[in-house]
């Protein structure tokens, strides 16, 4: 019997390096950080540090909330029982609000489609047109809708037309950008085929580009619809009819029972609109994804039928015989036929007719007319002259100080939203909790929070904590949970499951899988969403000053009330510069982490 002698492993060689013919030792090293990566990390740390500093500077602590407990109890006693308007009046307010929101969304779609075609790389006629259209889209998104409402009020006066124009023009900023992205992502194959047949540019766009992008266009319009519904509450404070105007009247007269009743109605309306539009968006995007997957998986031949079995051979199916018989000469007759009226086609046509009817009825209810539009076009230039040139009205120092407070509110609100949204988003992700029921419950919680307009939250916190930046930061913090929590949950669910399964196979526990495989791969997307939320909160902080939540929004509303429109322009330019700075930072960080 032979004995195999076992030797201990040789120690690694010492000295300047391995000898001739020796195998170099394997060492586990970390990737060297790049200059761009370090700069992006420093920028993120600066944003987080700014949020912590703003949190401390605004005195957001347990003591502040404890001191406001008595005010909260007093406010609750003043709001109960809720005082709802009579049924007829309430239905009229709801219909007025929905009519303005629907008309504004349709207006944004009408304006955004040509802008998106000019802004998309594959449909733009040139770099100049693309740059101009992109600039218009960014400007519409950066200017708050309340500023458009102030200008529109000068032209159209009190009524629904002011809200339609304000919401519609502001929505171009989001709708136009997403439409341009959808157009750029279309397949070039159908367009190339049309070009080969001699089709012109317009025929290529209408016959190949727009049909492919249509599901995304409709989904974006529905998403913007529920956003405009929440924004309608803000416009009520500058004279736009509907639930927002009734809410502002109740707040002004300190009728909190009526105000909170209207806020509950608005919340339920936003929740229903978000649920319905979300279901329609998921259906549309799922249909187009399935169709694209089917086109990639199976070849299609003219006159052939795909076999249902995987790997089956497509066999030609003969055309049904016709009563007229084959044509002279033995050729096969080719006839253009319309698709059959299947149940799906009937259902689609019914929805189309109902949508057109809703749009027409909304336009009538909102007071849209050619005479009103013509009067607005004639008054546009004189109204624009009222806002130019910019001026400070003798309060330049106060404007800069209030802009600084607005930035503090946005930073503190984003930090609060991040702390609350990360755990809620993780619990709403199916691949993290492992239970569909638990994930669905927390998804519903996030949806309910998102349905509450930030303005309503600001009103509540202003009454509870008093006037100032604290109420604005708390309102933005709670409101951020709705959007940021949803985006975090989506990013976690979209991670590649392979690394997580590998850790599970090694016996890792759920929290180890989350921190070791899921969160690191979703972190770049989470960072992008965080910066986007900061951008959104900066605009929202400007608007919350209207109800006394601190910041430069209070100066904006006061300047509009006393007809100091040059001051309004100055405030808009100051906020615009800050928004563009944050947006540029967000774009750069996303490119580094991509």
- Residue 105's pLDDT is what? 92
249-267 mean pLDDT:
86
| Res. 355: pLDDT tops 70 | yes
Q: Which two tokens stand for residue 221?
A: 């319009």
- Tokens 């502002």 belong to residue: 248
CA distances from 467 to 169, 219, 463 (A): 31, 39, 8
319-332 mean pLDDT:
48
Distance CA(235)–CA(77), nearest Å, equals 28
Residue 286 — very low, low, confident or very high, per pLDDT cuts 50/70/90? low
Most confident of 258-262, 281-285, 372-376, 577-581: 258-262
Query: Between residues 85 and 501, which one has the greater pLDDT?
Result: 85
47-57 mean pLDDT:
81
- Residue 323's pLDDT is what? 44
224-241 b/e with 16+ CB inside 10 Å = b?
Answer: bbbbbbbbbbbbbbbbbb
Residue 454 — very low, low, confident or very high, per pLDDT cuts 50/70/90? confident
Helix (H, G, I), strand (E, B) or coil at 22: coil
Residue 335 — very low, low, confident or very high, per pLDDT cuts 50/70/90? low
Q: Which two tokens stand for residue 358?
A: 């809703």
**Is the sign of the CA dihedral 117, 122, 125, 126 positive or negative?**
positive
Residue 368 — very low, low, confident or very high, per pLDDT cuts 50/70/90? confident
| Phi, psi (degrees; rounded to nearest 5) at 304 | -115, 160
Residues of the chain with pLDDT > 90, as a percent, come to 5
Distance CA(377)–CA(527), nearest Å, equals 43
pLDDT tens-digit series, residues 107-156: 999 999 999 999 988 888 888 888 899 889 888 887 888 888 888 888 88
Residues of the chain with pLDDT > 70, as a percent, come to 82
| Res. 23: pLDDT tops 60 | no
Distance CA(381)–CA(593), nearest Å, equals 45
Those residues whose C-beta lies under 8 Å from the C-beta of residue 381, and which sit 6 or more positions away, are: none
pLDDT tens-digit series, residues 499-513: 878 887 888 787 778
Q: What is the pTM of this model?
A: 0.74
- Residue 320's pLDDT is what? 46
How large is the greatest C-alpha to C-alpha distance in the chain, in angstroms? Answer: 109
- Tokens 């109890």 belong to residue: 73
Q: Quick one: how far is CA 398 from the chain centroid?
A: 32
- Residue 282's pLDDT is what? 65
Nearest to 264 by CA among 84, 442, 96, 446: 84
Helices (H) and strands (E) in the chain, counts: 24, 2
Domains 40-80+392-594 and 82-293+377-386 share a fold: yes
Fold classified for 40-80+392-594:
MetI-like fold (1.10.3720)
Distance CA(450)–CA(52), nearest Å, equals 24
- Residue 2's pLDDT is what? 41
354-360 mean pLDDT:
87
Distance CA(565)–CA(559), nearest Å, equals 6
Those residues whose C-beta lies under 8 Å from the C-beta of residue 375, and which sit 6 or more positions away, are: 155, 156
Which range has the worst mean pLDDT, 20-24, 275-279, 406-410, 580-584? 20-24
Which range has the worst mean pLDDT, 60-69, 103-112, 183-192? 60-69
Distance CA(206)–CA(226), nearest Å, equals 28
Which range has the worst mean pLDDT, 159-168, 218-227, 333-342? 333-342
Q: Select 82-293+377-386's CATH number: 1.10.3720.10, 1.20.1050.10, 3.30.360.10, 1.10.1040.10.
A: 1.10.3720.10
Distance CA(482)–CA(370), nearest Å, equals 39
Query: Between residues 21 and 34, which one has the greater pLDDT?
Result: 34
Q: How many Cα atoms sit within 13 Å of 197 on the Cβ side?
A: 10
| Res. 297: pLDDT tops 50 | no
Distance CA(382)–CA(565), nearest Å, equals 13
| Res. 594: pLDDT tops 80 | no
Q: What is the rounded average pLDDT for all residues in the chain?
A: 77
Which range has the worst mean pLDDT, 247-256, 283-292, 485-494? 283-292
- The residue extents of the domains of the chain are 40-80+392-594, 82-293+377-386
- Residue 103's pLDDT is what? 92
Those residues whose C-beta lies under 8 Å from the C-beta of residue 154, and which sit 6 or more positions away, are: 379, 383, 386
| Res. 314: pLDDT tops 50 | no
Most confident of 4-8, 318-322, 522-526: 522-526
| Res. 16: pLDDT tops 60 | no
Bridge partners, 316 (sequence order): 304
């Amino acid at each position: 019997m032979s004995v195999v002698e076992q030797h201990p492993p040789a120690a690694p060689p010492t000295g300047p390096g391995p000898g001739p013919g020796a195998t170099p030792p394997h060492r586990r090293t970390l990737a060297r950080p790049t200059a761009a990566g370090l700069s992006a990390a420093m920028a993120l740390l600066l944003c987080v540090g700014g949020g912590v500093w703003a949190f401390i500077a605004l005195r957001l602590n347990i003591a502040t909330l404890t001191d406001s407990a008595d005010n909260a109890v007093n406010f609750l006693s003043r709001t109960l029982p809720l005082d709802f308007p009579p049924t007829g009046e309430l239905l009229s307010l709801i219909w007025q609000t929905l009519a303005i929101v629907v008309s504004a969304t349709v207006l944004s779609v009408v304006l955004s489609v040509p802008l998106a075609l000019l802004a998309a790389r594959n449909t733009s006629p040139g770099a100049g047109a693309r740059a101009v259209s992109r600039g218009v889209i960014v400007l519409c998104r950066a200017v708050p809708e309340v500023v458009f409402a102030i200008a529109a009020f000068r032209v159209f006066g009190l009524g629904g037309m002011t809200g339609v124009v304000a919401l519609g023009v502001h929505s171009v900023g989001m709708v136009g950008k997403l439409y341009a992205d959808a157009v750029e992502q279309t397949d070039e194959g159908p367009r190339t085929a049309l070009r080969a047949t001699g089709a012109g540019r317009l025929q290529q766009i209408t016959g190949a580009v727009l049909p492919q992008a249509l599901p995304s266009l409709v989904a974006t319009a529905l998403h913007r619809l529920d956003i405009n519904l929440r924004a309608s509450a803000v416009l009520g404070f500058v004279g736009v009819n509907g639930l927002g105007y009734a809410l502002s009247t109740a707040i002004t007269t300190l009728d909190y029972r009526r105000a909170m009743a209207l806020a509950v109605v608005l919340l339920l309306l936003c929740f229903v609109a978000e649920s319905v539009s979300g279901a329609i968006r998921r259906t549309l995007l799922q249909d187009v994804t399935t169709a694209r997957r089917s086109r990639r998986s199976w070849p299609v031949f003219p006159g052939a039928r795909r076999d249902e079995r995987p790997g089956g051979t497509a066999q030609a199916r003969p055309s049904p015989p016709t009563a007229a018989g084959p044509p002279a000469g033995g050729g096969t007759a080719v006839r253009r036929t319309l698709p059959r009226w299947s149940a799906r086609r009937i259902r689609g046509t019914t929805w189309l007719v109902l949508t057109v009817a809703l749009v027409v009825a909304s336009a009538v209810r909102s007071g849209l007319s050619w005479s009103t539009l013509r009067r607005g076009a004639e008054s546009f230039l004189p109204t624009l002259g009222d806002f130019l040139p910019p001026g400070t009205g003798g309060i330049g120092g106060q404007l800069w100080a209030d802009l600084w407070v607005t930035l503090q509110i946005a930073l503190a609100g984003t930090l609060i939203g991040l702390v609350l949204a990360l755990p809620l988003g993780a619990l709403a992700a199916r691949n993290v909790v492992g239970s569909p029921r638990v994930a669905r419950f927390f998804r519903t919680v996030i949806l309910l929070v998102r349905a509450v307009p930030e303005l309503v939250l600001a009103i509540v916190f202003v009454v509870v904590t008093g006037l100032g930046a604290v109420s604005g930061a708390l309102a933005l913090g709670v409101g951020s949970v709705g959007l940021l929590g949803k985006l975090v949950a989506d990013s976690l669910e979209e991670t590649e499951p392979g690394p997580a399964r590998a850790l599970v196979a090694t016996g890792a526990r759920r929290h180890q899988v989350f921190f070791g495989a899921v969160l690191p791969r979703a972190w770049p997307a989470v960072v992008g969403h965080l910066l986007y939320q900061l951008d959104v909160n900066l605009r929202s902080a400007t608007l919350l000053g209207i109800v006394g939540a601190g910041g430069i929004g209070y100066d904006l509303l006061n300047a509009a009330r006393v007809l100091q429109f040059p001051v309004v322009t100055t405030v808009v330019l100051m906020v615009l510069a800050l928004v563009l700075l944050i947006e540029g930072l967000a774009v750069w960080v996303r490119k580094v982490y991509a």
